[in-house]
C-alpha cells in the first residue's frame, strides 16, 4: 500500500470512530453502572478508585474504597498516614506499591498544591505512580479535560472496532490509540466519552467469552463485528512463563500468640508481614531440625493443606504446617514478632498470598 493510501485508510478509521462518539456518550449516560466513585466529580475519590481498580475487580473494590476514604477522607490525611495502617487497609488488594506511590503523590500534592489535586493534566501526570491512563482518567472525569484514558478495556474496544491485529501489549499500539482518541474526544463530554469507552469494554465488549454485540451501541460501525472476528481480537502477546517457587509456610504458636515476621524492605511484598516460611517443601524431620536450630521445642506438628498463589512473574507452590510450642518468646532465637489474634487481624498487614494459612492461624487461636 502506498503512503497516501495508508494515510487515507488511517483517516477513514479515525473518521469512523468519530461517528461512534455521540453513540458512546448517549449509551453511557443511559446505561452506566451505579458505582460509589461516580457520585460527584471529586478528584481525590476518583484517584483512589482508579488506583484500586488496577488489577482488581469492581465488586472487590467497593468495600475497600469506602473503608479507605473513611480512614483518610482528605489527601492531607493520606499523606500523613502511618504506613502500617495504610498497608493494613490495602490488605487483600495486592500490588502494594500502588498505595505506597499514592502516599508519595499525596505528599507531593500537599507540598506543591496546598493539598488539592492540580487541575492540569501534565501536573497530575507528574505525581508519583500516575501514568498516562490515571492522569487522563482524573483529568477528564473530575475536570472535563479532553485527554484520553486508555486502559485494557479501551484497547480491546478500539482493536475490535478497527479489526486491528496490532499487539496491544506494544507501547506503540497504545500510543497510537491514545493519539487517535485525543483527536476525537468531545470537549463538552470528555468524562462521559472516556468512561463510556471503559464501560463498554467492561460490560459489553468483554474480555472473556463472546462480546455482547447485540446490545453494543457501535456494533454497526465495528469492523470486527462486520467480519465476525471478534473472538480473534485483541491480539495480545503471551506473557513469559512464571517462575515456580516452592515454599513451606509455618503457623508457629503457643497458647497465646502466633509468630509472624516482616519481609525485607525491597523486593516481592516488600515491608509487609508474613508467617515464617522456608524455601522448598520440607519434611516433618527437617522442620524439627529447623525448630531446634532457632531454640524451639515443638510439642505438636500438624500438616496443613497445600496452596498456590500467583504473582505477575512468580508462582508460589506452598505446603503448610502448624507447629505448637511451649513458650514462643522465651525460647525463640529469631527476629520473629509474637502477636495475638487482634494484632494479626487489626494491625499487621499480611498479604493474600498467605490467606490459605491465615484462616488456620486465626481459628487455631480461638481454640
Its pTM stands at 0.88
Q: Read off the pLDDT of residues 156-174 as tens digits, 9 standing for 90 and up.
A: 999 999 999 999 999 999 9
Cα 251–323–352 angle (5° rounding)? 10
> Annotated catalytic residue: which of 50, 91, 274, 322?
50
Considering only residues 81 and 40, tell me which one the structure prediction assigns the higher pLDDT.
81
- Out of 57-66, 251-260, 277-286, which region has the weakest mean confidence (pLDDT)? 251-260
Q: How far is CA 72 from the centre of its chain?
A: 19
The answer to whether residue 305 is catalytic is: no
Q: Read off the pLDDT of residues 291-327 as tens digits, 9 standing for 90 and up.
A: 888 888 888 999 999 999 999 899 999 999 999 888 7
Decide if 185 contacts 148 (C-beta within 8 A): yes
pLDDT in the model for residue 344: 87
pLDDT in the model for residue 37: 95
What ranges in 94-215 are assigned the alpha helix state H? Answer: 97-113, 121-125, 132-143, 152-162, 171-184, 190-203
Give every CB contact of residue 72 below 8 A, 6+ residues apart in sequence. 78, 81
pLDDT in the model for residue 332: 66
Residue 247 three-state SS: strand
CA distance 176 to 155: 10
Q: Which residue has the cell 451505579?
A: 34
pLDDT in the model for residue 11: 38
Q: Read off the pLDDT of residues 106-152 as tens digits, 9 standing for 90 and up.
A: 999 999 999 999 999 999 999 999 999 999 999 999 999 999 999 99
Question: Which among 89, 111, 113, 114 is positioned nearest to 100, based on CA atoms?
Answer: 89
Structural domains of the chain sorted by starting position, each given as residue range(s) with its CATH number in brackets: 3-232 (1.10.340.30), 243-366 (3.90.79.10)
pLDDT in the model for residue 40: 86
95: left (phi over 0), alpha (psi -120 to 50) or beta: left
Decide if 103 contacts 81 (C-beta within 8 A): yes
Q: Read off the pLDDT of residues 21-45 as tens digits, 9 standing for 90 and up.
A: 999 999 999 999 999 999 889 999 9
Amino acid at each position: 500500500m502506498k503512503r497516501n493510501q495508508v494515510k487515507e485508510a488511517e483517516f477513514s478509521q479515525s473518521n469512523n470512530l468519530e461517528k461512534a462518539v455521540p453513540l458512546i456518550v448517549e449509551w453511557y449516560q443511559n446505561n452506566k453502572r451505579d458505582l460509589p466513585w461516580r457520585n460527584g466529580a471529586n478528584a481525590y475519590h476518583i484517584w483512589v478508585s482508579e488506583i484500586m481498580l488496577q488489577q482488581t475487580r469492581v465488586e472487590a473494590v467497593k468495600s475497600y474504597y469506602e473503608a479507605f476514604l473513611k480512614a483518610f477522607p482528605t489527601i492531607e490525611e493520606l499523606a500523613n498516614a502511618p504506613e502500617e495502617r495504610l498497608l493494613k487497609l490495602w490488605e487483600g488488594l495486592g500490588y502494594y506499591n500502588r498505595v505506597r506511590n499514592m502516599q508519595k503523590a499525596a505528599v507531593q500534592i500537599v507540598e506543591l498544591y496546598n493539598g488539592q489535586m492540580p487541575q492540569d493534566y501534565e501536573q497530575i501526570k507528574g505525581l508519583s505512580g500516575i501514568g498516562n491512563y490515571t492522569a487522563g482518567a482524573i483529568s477528564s472525569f473530575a475536570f472535563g479535560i479532553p485527554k484520553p484514558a486508555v486502559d485494557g478495556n479501551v484497547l480491546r474496544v478500539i482493536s475490535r472496532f478497527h479489526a486491528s491485529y496490532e499487539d496491544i501489549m506494544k507501547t506503540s499500539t497504545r500510543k497510537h490509540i491514545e493519539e487517535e482518541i485525543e483527536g476525537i474526544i468531545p470537549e463538552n463530554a470528555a468524562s462521559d466519552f472516556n468512561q463510556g469507552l471503559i464501560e463498554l469494554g467492561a460490560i459489553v465488549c468483554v474480555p472473556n467469552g463472546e462480546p455482547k454485540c447485540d446490545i453494543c451501541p457501535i456494533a454497526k460501525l465495528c469492523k470486527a463485528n462486520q467480519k465476525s472476528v471478534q473472538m480473534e481480537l485483541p491480539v495480545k502477546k503471551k506473557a513469559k512463563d512464571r517462575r515456580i517457587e516452592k515454599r513451606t509456610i509455618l503457623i508457629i504458636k503457643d497458647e497465646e500468640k502466633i509468630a509472624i515476621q516482616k519481609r525485607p524492605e525491597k523486593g516481592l511484598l516488600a515491608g509487609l508481614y508474613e508467617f515464617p516460611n522456608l524455601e522448598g517443601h520440607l519434611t516433618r524431620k527437617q522442620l524439627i531440625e529447623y525448630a531446634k536450630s532457632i531454640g524451639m521445642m515443638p510439642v505438636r506438628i500438624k500438616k496443613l493443606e497445600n496452596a498456590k498463589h500467583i504473582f505477575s512473574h512468580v508462582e508460589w507452590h506452598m505446603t503448610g504446617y502448624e507447629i505448637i510450642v511451649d513458650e514462643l518468646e522465651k525460647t525463640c532465637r529469631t527476629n520473629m514478632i509474637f502477636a495475638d489474634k487482634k494484632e494479626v487481624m487489626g494491625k499487621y498487614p499480611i498479604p493474600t498470598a498467605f490467606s490459605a494459612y491465615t484462616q488456620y492461624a486465626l481459628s487455631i487461636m480461638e481454640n
